């Protein structure tokens, strides 16, 4: 059907339903009448609307589903540009505005925009055109509110084709502009030219209860799942009674306690950061325990807290208390602790020592960590199940953290921080790990002691069944009497007593 012939041609498929077809025919007939009467602007508006729809759909990505995670990219086809130029057709600006809107919501993600051409014509001119197109996209995004220092642009000309340049179809695919995410810390691209994602820095190896994560390319918090890849600038938030463990590529371990917020800025390797953060990990609230694998002097690891920074070399426990003070307990190796105070110098904290620091105040003099609690009862590695099992330990500090963990699933079943030297709990038959940690008056923590305990099913005490015994004796006597007197009714009665006694015994 032709509508407003001087302006556009529209082909429409009418549904098979007769009623629907009748309605649609009436609508198009009325529209045709309007146009016949001079309302040609209807055809113009319809033409512009369809053009925008076609252009947006040609991008291969819905405007509301923009995704720049590792392995993902946005490809802008040549059709958004004027032929042979770097200027962009105004009808494509809404899509670029959608990209800018997405980027404004993920402020910790940077971009790389790369222009590409086919191999036709002068190579230098192609390189310049590809760069100019990338810069044009960068300029539009910047004008839409994305800071220019978050975007880098380059032009590769015909150096990176994705299709055969010997066919027009292939050359059309090669004439493109690609947008990929870039890490704000190491400046590494999240997606390579071949579409492969950047290798993660680690993964979640244990998760308990409600844990949330936020990657640089995500606008909203996501549920933390087992085997989730962890990249630079990843945030982890544990809620009540939740825990999570992250294992990095070099097998270093990061354990985050409940009600904590941790930011992983960059991997554990000793590479100097090129981006905004010099620290490896930021602790906003809560507690973390970090164990480095095969750490060397030049591989020291920097943890930033709300009060200062800690340069560590092996194993450490760091917490933030209710007043915002940082508690640093060195379990292995040494640590350099420095407050945010301008005049503060770093202090060295040796193994089995700890310190506390507040914002703008120099760290306190290091003090020895409390002794490691020793479990006194139960002494045996195996105990019988009971409704109330009592655990006692040698108390040597202000408080003790008592934890019971399922040895099979690693799930924390019970935890308490108490000033007593005992705890009474109930455990089902199974295998468990019992952990004890000493905590001093200011919150510094000792290393933990661990015992493996097996709870066996309780054995029922065997009781003598007097009633059944009497019934068996009476049935025997009755049967013997029936044999002497040759009375069959005695035999049937004895058999009934045997059946009754057996049923009572087995029930």
Q: Write the pLDDT tens digit of every residue in 268-294.
A: 654 555 556 678 999 999 999 999 886
The three-state DSSP-derived secondary structure of 146-200 is CCHHHEEEEECCCCCCCCCCCCHHHHHHHCEEEEEEEECCCCCECECCCCCECCC
How confident is the prediction for the chain on average, in pLDDT?
83
The verdict on 388 and 302 lying in the same domain is no
The verdict on 212 and 350 lying in the same domain is yes
The verdict on 280 and 171 lying in the same domain is no
Contacts of 166 (CB under 8 A, 6+ apart): none
CATH number at residue 402: 2.60.40.2550
CATH number at residue 85: 3.30.1330.60
Helix, strand or coil, per DSSP, at residue 123: helix
The verdict on 279 and 381 lying in the same domain is no
The verdict on 81 and 35 lying in the same domain is no
Residue 412 in any domain: the answer is yes
Residue 192 in any domain: the answer is no
Residue 4 in any domain: the answer is no
Burial class (CB in 10 A: 0-12, 13-18, 19+), 424: exposed
CATH number at residue 349: 2.60.120.1440
Write 374-381 long-range contacts (CB < 8 A, 24+): 374/436, 374/449, 375/434, 375/436, 375/449, 375/451, 378/453, 381/451, 381/452, 381/453, 381/454
The verdict on 352 and 398 lying in the same domain is no
The verdict on 173 and 208 lying in the same domain is no
The verdict on 279 and 174 lying in the same domain is no
Helix, strand or coil, per DSSP, at residue 393: strand
The verdict on 213 and 360 lying in the same domain is yes
Last residue of a domain, one of 304, 333, 368: 368
Last residue of a domain, one of 338, 368, 398: 368
Residue 461 in any domain: the answer is no
Strands 353-357, 326-332: pairing kind: antiparallel
Q: List per-residue pLDDT tens for the chain, 507 residues long.
A: 333 333 232 222 323 333 334 434 444 444 444 445 554 544 444 444 444 444 444 444 454 578 999 999 999 988 888 888 888 888 888 889 999 999 999 999 999 999 999 999 899 999 999 999 999 999 999 999 999 999 999 999 999 999 999 999 999 999 999 999 999 888 889 999 888 999 999 999 999 999 999 999 999 999 999 999 999 999 999 999 899 999 999 899 999 999 999 999 987 654 555 556 678 999 999 999 999 886 554 557 899 999 999 999 899 999 999 999 999 999 999 999 999 876 778 899 999 999 999 988 889 999 999 999 999 999 889 888 888 899 999 988 999 999 999 999 889 999 999 999 999 999 999 999 999 999 999 999 999 999 999 999 876 555 567 787 888 888 888 888 888 877 878 888 888 888 888 887 776
The three-state DSSP-derived secondary structure of 44-84 is HHHHHHHHHHHHHHCCCCCCCCCCCCCCCCEEEEHHHECCC
Residue 1 in any domain: the answer is no
The verdict on 356 and 272 lying in the same domain is yes
- Gap between the Cα atoms of 199 and 231, Å rounded: 8
CA dihedral 6, 7, 12, 14 (to 10 degrees): -60
The verdict on 314 and 391 lying in the same domain is no
CA angle 388, 390, 391 (to 5 degrees): 145
Q: Within 10 Å of residue 210's Cβ, how many Cβ atoms?
A: 14
- Gap between the Cα atoms of 320 and 340, Å rounded: 15
Write down the pLDDT at residue 57.
42
- Gap between the Cα atoms of 184 and 108, Å rounded: 6
Residue 260 in any domain: the answer is yes
Count of the separate structural domains present in the chain? 5
Question: In this structure, are residues 264 and 281 in contact, taking their beta carbons and an 8 Å threshold?
Answer: yes
Give one DSSP letter per residue of 137-148, joined into a string.
HHHHHHHTT--G
**Tokens 């990061």, residue located:** 254
What distance, in Å, lies between the first and last C-alpha atoms of the chain? 86
Residue 7 in any domain: the answer is no
Segments forming the whole domain that contains residue 45? 18-57
Residue 472: phi, psi to the nearest 5? Answer: -65, -40
Residue 319 in any domain: the answer is yes
pLDDT in tens, 152-165: 999 999 999 999 99
Last residue of a domain, one of 368, 396, 421: 368
The verdict on 179 and 206 lying in the same domain is no
Helix, strand or coil, per DSSP, at residue 428: coil
pLDDT in tens, 211-263: 999 999 999 999 999 999 999 999 999 999 899 999 999 899 999 999 999 99
- Gap between the Cα atoms of 51 and 92, Å rounded: 10
């Amino acid at each position: 059907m032709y509508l407003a012939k001087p302006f556009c041609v529209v082909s429409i498929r009418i549904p098979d339903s007769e009623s629907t077809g009748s309605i649609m025919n009436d609508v198009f007939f009325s529209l045709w009448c309007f146009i016949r009467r001079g309302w040609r602007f209807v055809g113009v508006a319809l033409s512009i609307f369809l053009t925008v729809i076609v252009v947006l759909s040609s991008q291969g990505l819905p405007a509301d589903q923009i995704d720049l995670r590792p392995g993902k990219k946005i490809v802008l086809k040549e059709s958004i540009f004027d032929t042979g130029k770097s200027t962009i057709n105004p009808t494509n600006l809404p899509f670029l505005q959608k990209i800018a809107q997405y980027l404004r919501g993920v402020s910790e993600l940077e971009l790389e925009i790369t222009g590409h051409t086919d191999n036709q014509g002068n190579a230098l001119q192609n390189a310049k055109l590809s760069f100019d197109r990338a810069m044009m996209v960068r300029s539009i995004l910047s004008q839409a509110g994305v800071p220019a220092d978050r975007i880098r642009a380059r032009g590769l000309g015909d150096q990176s084709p994705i299709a055969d340049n010997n066919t027009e179809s292939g050359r059309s695919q090669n004439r493109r502009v690609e947008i990929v995410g870039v890490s704000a810390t190491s400046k590494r691209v999240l997606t390579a030219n071949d579409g492969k994602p950047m290798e993660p820095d680690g993964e979640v190896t244990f998760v308990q209860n409600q844990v949330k994560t936020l990657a640089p390319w995500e606008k909203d918090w996501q549920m933390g799942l087992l085997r989730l890849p962890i990249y630079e600038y990843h945030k982890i938030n544990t809620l009540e009674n939740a825990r999570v463990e992250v294992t990095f590529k070099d097998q270093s371990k990061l354990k985050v306690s409940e009600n904590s917020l941790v930011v992983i800025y960059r991997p554990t390797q000793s590479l100097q950061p090129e981006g905004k953060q010099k620290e490896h990990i930021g602790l906003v609230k809560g507690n973390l325990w970090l164990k480095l694998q095969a750490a060397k002097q030049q591989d020291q690891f920097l943890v930033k807290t709300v009060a200062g920074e800690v340069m560590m070399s092996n194993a450490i426990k760091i917490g933030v208390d209710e007043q915002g003070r940082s508690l640093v307990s060195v379990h292995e190796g040494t640590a350099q602790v420095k407050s945010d105070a301008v005049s503060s110098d770093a202090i060295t904290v040796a193994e089995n020592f700890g310190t506390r620091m507040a914002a703008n105040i120099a760290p306190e003099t290091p003090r020895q960590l409390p002794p490691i609690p020793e479990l006194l009862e139960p002494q045996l590695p195996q105990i019988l199940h009971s409704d109330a099992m009592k655990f006692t330990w040698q108390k040597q500090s202000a408080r003790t953290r008592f934890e019971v963990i399922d040895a099979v699933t690693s799930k924390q079943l019970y935890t308490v921080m108490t000033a007593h030297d005992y705890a009474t709990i109930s455990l089902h038959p199974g295998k468990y790990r019992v952990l004890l940690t000493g905590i001093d008056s200011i919150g510094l923590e000792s290393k933990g002691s661990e015992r493996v305990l097996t709870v066996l099913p309780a054995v029922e005490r065997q009781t003598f069944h007097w009633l059944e015994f009497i019934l068996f004796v009476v049935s025997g006597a009755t049967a013997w009497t029936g044999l002497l007197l040759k009375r069959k009714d005695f035999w049937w009665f004895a058999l009934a007593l045997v059946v009754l006694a057996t049923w009572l015994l087995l029930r």
